[in-house]
């Protein structure tokens, strides 16, 4: 996993937006996305859209996350969302949500696309989904939806570290149990942990925004590689339990 100090130090507010991505990065109100970056993101979004369904109506293509804000770091990525009104699918809306979610996973796993060293992650976002980011840019319309501001978060490092340690302990314990007891005995724990982490982060975003302790804990778990380690453990254990060892006899 990544170095704790390096990761914690990445949770800072920069003086400017990322100059590789933005023109006039000193002032978000006057900044626009660099044409080459915008062109590349639109091309990538179209490539992803083509993997979904024919004649899909995409309401917007937005960039959110740290690269559309003042808290970018070496751990940032292009968080690119295709905003879709799933009501266009009528009673099959949930079916298409699930389908697009799977296709997103396949696309992101299959492709490692980078712009100036930052990976591009695709996400199909429901138009009715609540979004609490303070920096949101419409790549499609080339303008800010939510213009970011340089807000200095009041964080206590000791409090954040304790919250991180608590979640690290939970996840590492689950990984250990999956390896020793198998996945089937731990399926409920896996689902509970995923749900708790999702709601934990969401509640922080709703109450205090991107600089809430809950969101920063989630970012640490992702940046440190611990969440990836958990998912890889689940995947390997699934393969192991589905495999059948056969001993060939002459």
Q: How confident is the model at residue 249 (pLDDT cuts 50, 70, 90)?
A: low
Higher per-residue pLDDT: 239 or 68: 68
Contact 47, 106 (CB under 8 A): no
Q: How confident is the model at residue 9 (pLDDT cuts 50, 70, 90)?
A: low
Global pTM exceeds 0.85: no
Which pLDDT does position 93 carry in this prediction?
Answer: 92
Give the C-alpha distances (Å, rounded to integers) separating 175 from 40, 162, 200: 38, 20, 20
* 211-225 pLDDT per residue, tens: 788 888 988 898 888
* 108-167 pLDDT per residue, tens: 888 889 999 999 999 999 998 877 778 899 999 999 999 998 876 677 778 888 889 999
Which pLDDT does position 244 carry in this prediction?
Answer: 66
CATH class of 13-146: alpha beta
Contact 76, 65 (CB under 8 A): yes
Closest CA to 66 of 21, 1, 4: 21
Higher per-residue pLDDT: 242 or 17: 17
């Amino acid at each position: 996993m990544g170095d704790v100090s390096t990761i914690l130090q990445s949770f800072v507010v920069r003086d400017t937006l990322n100059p590789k991505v933005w023109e006039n990065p000193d002032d978000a109100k006057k900044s626009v996305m660099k044409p080459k970056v915008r062109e590349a993101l639109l091309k990538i979004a179209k490539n992803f859209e083509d993997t979904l369904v024919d004649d899909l109506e995409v309401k917007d293509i937005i960039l959110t996350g740290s690269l559309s804000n003042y808290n970018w770091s070496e751990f940032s990525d292009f968080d690119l969302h295709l905003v879709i009104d799933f009501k266009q699918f009528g009673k099959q809306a949930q079916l298409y949500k699930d389908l697009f979610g799977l296709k997103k996973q396949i696309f992101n796993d299959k492709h490692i696309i980078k712009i100036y060293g930052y990976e591009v992650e695709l996400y199909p976002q429901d138009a009715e989904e609540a979004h609490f980011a303070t920096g949101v840019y419409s790549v499609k319309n080339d303008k800010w939806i939510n213009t970011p501001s340089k807000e200095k978060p009041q964080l206590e490092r000791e409090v954040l570290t304790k919250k991180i340690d608590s979640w690290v302990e939970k996840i590492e314990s689950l990984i250990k149990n999956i390896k020793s007891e198998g996945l089937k005995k731990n399926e409920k724990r896996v689902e509970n942990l995923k749900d708790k982490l999702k709601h934990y982060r969401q509640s922080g975003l709703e109450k205090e925004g991107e600089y809430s302790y809950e969101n920063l804990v989630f970012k640490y778990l992702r940046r440190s590689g611990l969440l990836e380690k958990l998912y890889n453990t689940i995947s390997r254990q699934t393969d192991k339990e589905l495999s059948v060892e056969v001993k060939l006899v002459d």
